[in-house]
Amino acid sequence: MKKAVVTGGTHGMGLAIVRELLARGAEVVLTGRNERNIEEARTALKGEAAHVVRSDAGSMADIAALGDFVGEKLGSVDHLFINHGMARFTELADVTEQEWDRHFAVNTKGSFFTVQRLAPLLNEGGSVVFTTVANDVVFPGLSAYSASKEAMRAFAHVLAVELLPKKIRVNSVAPGYIKTPTMGVADLSEEQRREFERQGDESTPLRRIGTVEEVAKAALFLAEDATFSTNVELAVDGGFAQGLGH
Ligand SMILES: NC(=O)c1ccc[n+]([C@@H]2O[C@H](COP(=O)([O-])OP(=O)(O)OC[C@H]3O[C@@H](n4cnc5c(N)ncnc54)[C@H](OP(=O)(O)O)[C@@H]3O)[C@@H](O)[C@H]2O)c1
């Protein structure tokens, strides 16, 4: 039985990755921060080989505790999915130091130190899959978020080299507009979320936004099937960042 960890697995793309792993017979530890979403995930996954843990990726103490939990529950890990993320629309003039730091604490520092804590548990031949974001895409109001994901992209390349001795492959999925409960942005009103979806349908070359299942399949492909690929970033964006025009 394969063993996997999915950070930010309680809803959206992360939950779709968890479901795909379970369908393939894996045992999964998944994390989230929001208590209500954690309870909903626990209910949805009841009876499955899934362990839902509250773990704030922005907290070093929580990352250490997650490592202990994974060590006790799974013993070792075949596939690690670093999928958690947070984004908040804030225009230049309104970005506070706290807002900037939170994006980097969760998306960048949290991702890096989660890999660091879990790397000793990763089996030889295992894999890490990061969820980044469509390349070269510019959204006004997402400067801190974009910077935090670019930093993750940068260290993913270095980790791909550093984990070579254990034959651990490090790859990323780069989603474009994907229909998730939040559309990847916290605190959007229902109306703003629908408008964001509409923009996605209009500006994506394939003329629709993607599904969480499409991202999950790509992530699982990188983790399990792409056994001769490392340091690859696979776009799942309907052509959005592929020079096909917006
Ligand atoms: N949706 C899109 O169109 C889109 C596009 C490009 C990239 N992305 C990226 O794709 C990933 C998944 O996005 P999504 O739209 O499915 O969901 P999301 O709303 O961005 O949340 C993803 C997951 O991260 C968890 N999370 C948020 N903050 C956390 C923290 N501090 N500690 C631990 N977990 C935390 C969430 O759990 P709780 O909310 O329960 O805490 C949730 O399970 C994210 O990395 C996002 O940046 C999304």
Inside any domain, residue 216: yes
Q: pLDDT at position 245, please? A: 67
Across the range 142-151, mean pLDDT stands at 97
The pLDDT tens digits for 195-239 are 999 999 999 999 999 999 999 999 999 999 999 999 999 999 999
Which phi and psi (to 5°) does residue 100 adopt? -60, -50
- The reply to whether ligand 1 has any atom less than 6 angstroms from the CB of 111 is no
The half-sphere exposure of 151 on its side-chain side, counting CA atoms within 13 A, is: 16
First to last CA, the chain: 43
Name the burial class of residue 3, with classes exposed (0-12), middle (13-18) and buried (19+) by CB atoms within 10 angstroms of its CB.
Answer: buried
Phi, psi (rounded to 5 degrees) for 179:
-75, 105
pLDDT at 163 over 90: yes
Alpha helices in 30-118 (DSSP H): 35-44, 60-73, 97-103, 110-118
Nearest residue (by CA) to ligand 1, atom 39, is: 34
Q: Tell me whether residue 223 is in a domain.
A: yes
Closest CA to 20 of 236, 176, 223: 223
Which atom of ligand 1 lies at the shortest distance from residue 62's CA?
32
Mean pLDDT value across residues 39-51: 98
Q: Please check whether residue 31 lies inside any domain of the structure.
A: yes
Q: Is the CB of 106 under 6 A from ligand 1?
A: yes
Residue 142: inside a domain, yes or no? yes
d(C-alpha 86, C-alpha 96), whole Å:
16
Q: What ligand 1 atom has the least distance to the C-alpha of 177?
A: 3
- Chain centroid, CA 108 distance in Å: 11
> What does the alpha-carbon distance between residue 128 and residue 122 come to, in Å, rounded to a whole number?
9
CB of 8 closer than 6 angstroms to any ligand 1 atom: yes
Q: Percentage of residues in the chain with pLDDT exceeding 90?
A: 96
Whether 180 is in the pocket of ligand 1, judged by its Cβ within 6 Å, is yes
In a domain, 145, yes or no: yes
Task: Tell which wins on pLDDT, 42 or 246.
Answer: 42
Q: For residue 111, what are the domain limits?
A: 3-236
Q: For residue 244, is it within any domain?
A: no
**What CATH code is carried by the domain that includes residue 59?**
3.40.50.720
Ligand 1: atom nearest CA of 57 is 32
| Domain membership flag for residue 241 | no
- Total structural domains in the chain? 1
Provide the pLDDT confidence category of residue 136 given band limits of 50, 70 and 90: confident
pTM exceeds cut of 0.95: yes
Among 35-39, 94-98, 173-177, 242-246, name the one with the lowest average pLDDT: 242-246
Per-residue pLDDT of 48-91, as tens digits, reads 999 999 999 999 999 999 999 999 999 999 999 999 999 999 99
